[in-house]
Amino acid sequence: MAKRLFTTVHEGWLKLLFASFAVEDRSFGERLYDFSEIVYRHLRFIESVYVKKKIEYSYERPAIELSFTTEGEAALFCEEALGRIASQLSPSGDPLAARLIGDLEYIRRDLAARSSIEAKVTAFDKSLKLPGKSLDKSSLDALVMFLFEESYKEYELIIVYSYAQTTVDDKRLTEIFQILIDESKYHLKSFARMMDQLGILAVPRMVTQEIYRFDSLKEFLLNGIEEEMGAKEQCRALAEGVKDEELSAFFDFINRQEDYHIALMKEALQRID
């Protein structure tokens, strides 16, 4: 039961998150994003309880397909996902259960009220066109490949750093992992919104236990530094390869942020040494 609830909440978070990127109405999209953040917090609340009680759980989950064609269908898609979470909860006098049930009731009511919206969703139409941009084939191919690879990487990092937070008691290490989670969320949002505009939005593949679980925090940090350096190189190469000044500036901006991520991970490494 514990593993199934964690998986269902994980799925609910991702469905709300990617629906928030898919809808064209940005006020609705931001509301969905805020709701997804609440469900992500639910996931972390549950994880904290499981870690404390030594209950086994996993970040592995089924593949998630996005196929809704209207914003109303997107709302219903999310409402049904949250309904599956609610079906696994029952009032028990537990404050966490009460919090989850109350949040889900409110969010589901809000989503149900939007289920008749007929505005079209074009996030999956494979248009391969960015508004106001005219990219040559090599630039477009490089951009598409980068977005698929990096959206998975940022999702992976959210999972990895979330799990890593559960393994440390040091306040500064906890702060560092939270900064890295928040930064990865911003990068994922930026890349996914671009995928939405190109009509290629998709939920990244599952992150396996072999990736997010580790025996040595030191080895985990060393591997993390190497991965961040790889991300820097990909951003640098894309900034140089995409023949568009605005896009190149954006990827340079992301690249410079990776420098600070590396500095933070080196600081974390020093603390455990």
One-letter amino acid at 211 equals: I
If we measure between CA atoms, which residue out of 238, 239, 231 comes closest to residue 258? 231
Calculated CA dihedral for residues 33, 34, 39, 44, nearest 10 degrees: 110
pLDDT at residue 20 in the model: 98
Nearest Cα residue to 74 out of 107, 118, 36? 118
| pLDDT at res. 2 | 66
Residue 133: closest CA among 244, 21, 249: 244
Query: Distance between CA 175 and CA 156 in Å, rounded?
Result: 19
Helical spans, DSSP H, in the chain: 2-22, 26-53, 71-86, 95-112, 137-165, 171-198, 209-212, 217-241, 245-272
> In this predicted structure, what is the pLDDT of residue 239?
76
| Cα dihedral 247, 249, 252, 257 sign | negative
Residue 7 is encoded by which pair of tokens?
Answer: 């998986």
The SS3 of residue 123 is coil
Query: What is the reported pLDDT for 232?
Result: 80
Structural domains of the chain, with CATH? 1-121 (1.20.1260), 124-273 (1.20.1260.10)
**Following DSSP, what letter does each residue of 10-73 receive, concatenated?**
HHHHHHHHHHHHH-S-HHHHHHHHHHHHHHHHHHHHHHHHHHHHT----S----------BHHH
Give the alpha-carbon dihedral of 235, 236, 237, 238, to 10 degrees: 50
pLDDT tens for the chain, residues 1 to 273: 567 999 999 999 999 999 999 999 999 999 999 999 999 999 999 999 999 999 999 999 999 999 899 999 999 999 999 999 999 998 888 899 999 999 999 999 999 999 999 999 999 999 999 988 888 898 899 899 999 999 999 999 999 999 999 999 999 999 999 999 999 999 999 999 999 999 999 999 999 999 999 888 899 899 889 888 887 888 788 778 788 889 988 888 988 898 999 999 999 999 987
* pLDDT value at residue 1: 54
CA distance 224 to 161: 10
Give the CA count within 13 Å in the CB-facing half-sphere of 180. Answer: 35
Determine the Cα–Cα distance for residues 78 and 133; give it in Å rounded to an integer: 32
Cα–Cα distance measured from residue 167 to residue 209, given in angstroms and rounded to the nearest whole number? 15
Residue type, position 136, single letter: D
